[in-house]
A and B are shown apart, each in its own frame.
Chain A
Amino acid sequence: MEHATWPARIVLALFSIIIIGAVLSAQRGRKLFIRRIPGLTAIDEAVGRATEMGRPMLLSVGLGSIDIITLQALAILSSIVQTAARYGNRVLLPVADSAILPVAEDAVREAYTAGGRPDAFHPEDVMFLSDRQFAYAAGVAGLINREQVASMFLFGTFYAEALIMAENGNRVGAIQVAGTPSTTQIPFFIAACDYVIIGDEFYAATAYLTKQPTLLGSLVGQDIVKGILIACIVLGALLLTFGSPVLYNFFQDRDLPLLGYLRQAIEAGGS
């Protein structure tokens, strides 16, 4: 499926409108609340520990290239660097994708500036190691052990290298906070890290850390969309159980009277 099916067109358009609507509503000053996320509350503790010990912090955005996950990870890490900059902490950010390097360097520089310590930024601390998975993992493991990092933040796309990095962090006694949409790696992070943010908390992290209206509004939109999906799942299951496949057929892109009519009307209009 390289192009949208009809259900995808309808559902994605509806969800996008809801999310954008919630963002605009929040930007107009609607007060919003976000619950406590333990993994993110621990960030201050981890930064504080690095300050106390006078040892650097290590950040990683994993193996992802320039995509939504990596950009979100960089936004989270920017907030962390900003906190670290206030205390003058040294931050190491090894990257695995050279295309990410200038973006990461820029993000860290701006975060140091926003934290009021542009002088504490060292460009060589944002470095490219290798785009080969295990060469990168070996490089990061070496960095962790040589620099004896005090805290580690692993946010982004991770594969098998996740455990190599987290276990080495554990070995040097670093406090570790991790968050990844790579669901296969979440169990390894849970086993080896102190705090793990799971699932869409990854996308909620920037809203939680910055409390920006745009991001909080987006979260509200996401929750509404999630509510609709849950309702569809429950309703679809009930309908199918009682013999009506109408909702099931809609999501399967099978012909439905209303959808067939809509499809014909649009295709007739387009031609």
Chain B
Amino acid sequence: MGFLVRLQDIDRRVLYLLLAVAVSFPFLFPAPVPDPAILPQTQSFFRTVEAVSADPVRRDKLVILSCNFSSSTSAESLTQTETVMRHLMKNKLKFAIFSFNDPQGRELGQLIANRLQDEYGYQYGRDYVNWGFRPPAAAVNTVKAMVRNIPEAIGTDANGTRLVEIPVMRNIRGANDLAAIIEITGSNSLPVWLQYLQRTGAGAEPIPTLYCPTAVMAPEAFPLLKSGQLQGMLTGLKGAIEYEALLNVRGFATRASASLSYSHFLILALIVLGNLGTFAARAQARRGGAR
């Protein structure tokens, strides 16, 4: 009984150690994990990219890959970037890396592009471009100016080359030349796209907007999926795992799946143990009271 009672108050250092083991163990000793179930929002994300690729008009337009995150959320955001960029490259879509929330975003986006470009035969300037970073205070004005003239609003790419001189930007003028907006973020940067760009194209339909938030932020976005403002969403690392399954590739997300599963099961086990301890303590107190 004494042992059970002690379970209600396990030293937090023990908890931390257990988590460190649960997270790192699957990376050191890979173990098979079942394929994840694909949620509707992930499926619609995938279908939207496929629909853009299948549309003869849209597929020549440009996808904005907005990397609004820093290294702190890289476990989720960088993994999402990798899996989404894979899909864009696989389908030969042109894209622009952009960041207006954290200067690290443009570098982290480029890091993934450098890693994948040879695998898919992509070339900087010809197939994709990095627009670089614009300060948060200028984000709204930049995005508003992009509606009519992207090369003028952005000016130069991350290397200082004028956008008009970059081949992939040929025929790209304003909002009408955008195929989709993909926002990968660890902060509240999505509204800028929804408010100032999404509905500015010539057609009645909004520019397809896809969202990759961290898992913590996802619940806030569910109403936007329902209202049709978002066409798909990848929820944190879990979303990336599902997307890799859809793409049939085995990247970092799939490797991290076991780690995510074990850490969740550890928390569940600890909650059960904590409650067992509480019950045992109550039972002991009742017996003590009866005596």
A-side interface residues toward B, CB under 8 Å? 1-2, 134, 159-160, 171, 183-184
Contacts and interface: CB of A to CB of B under 8 A. Distances in A.
Interface in B206-223: 216-217, 219-220
B219 A184 contact: yes
B195 A184 contact: no
Nearest to A159: B187
A2 B144 CA distance: 10
B12 A2 contact: no
A171 B15 CA distance: 14
B72 interface: yes
A171 B12 contact: yes
B16 to A, nearest CB: 11
Size class of the B contact interface (CB-based, 8 Å): 10 to 19
B122 interface: no
Contacts of A184: 216-217, 219-220
A183 B216 contact: no
15 contacts: A1-B195, A2-B144, A2-B195, A2-B196, A134-B72, A159-B187, A160-B72, A160-B216, A171-B12, A183-B219, A183-B220, A184-B216, A184-B217, A184-B219, A184-B220
B76 to A, nearest CB: 12
Interface in B102-139: none
Contacts of A134: 72
Contacts of A171: 12
A254 B92 CA distance: 38
B199 to A, nearest CB: 9
Given A134-B72, A184-B217, 13 more contacts: A1-B195, A2-B144, A2-B195, A2-B196, A159-B187, A160-B72, A160-B216, A171-B12, A183-B219, A183-B220, A184-B216, A184-B219, A184-B220
B103 to A, nearest CB: 13
Interface in B65-82: 72
Nearest to B219: A184
Contacts of A159: 187
Contacts of B217: 184
Interface string B230-274: 000000000000000000000000000000000000000000000
Nearest to A167: B12
A196 B149 CA distance: 47
A1 B196 CA distance: 7
Of all A-B residue pairs in the complex, the 8 with the closest CB atoms, nearest first, are A184-B216, A1-B195, A184-B217, A184-B220, A183-B220, A134-B72, A2-B195, A184-B219
Interface string B36-80: 000000000000000000000000000000000000100000000
A171 B13 CA distance: 11
A171 B144 CA distance: 47
Nearest to B186: A160
Contacts of A183: 219-220
Contacts of B72: 134, 160
Central interface residue in A1, A159, A183, A184, by most chain B CB within 10 Å: A184
A107 to B, nearest CB: 26
Nearest to A182: B188
A1 B12 CA distance: 48
Interface string B174-198: 0000000000000100000001100
A257 to B, nearest CB: 22
Contacts of B196: 2
Contacts of B195: 1-2
A183 B144 CA distance: 28
A160 B185 CA distance: 13
B253 to A, nearest CB: 21
A2 B219 CA distance: 25
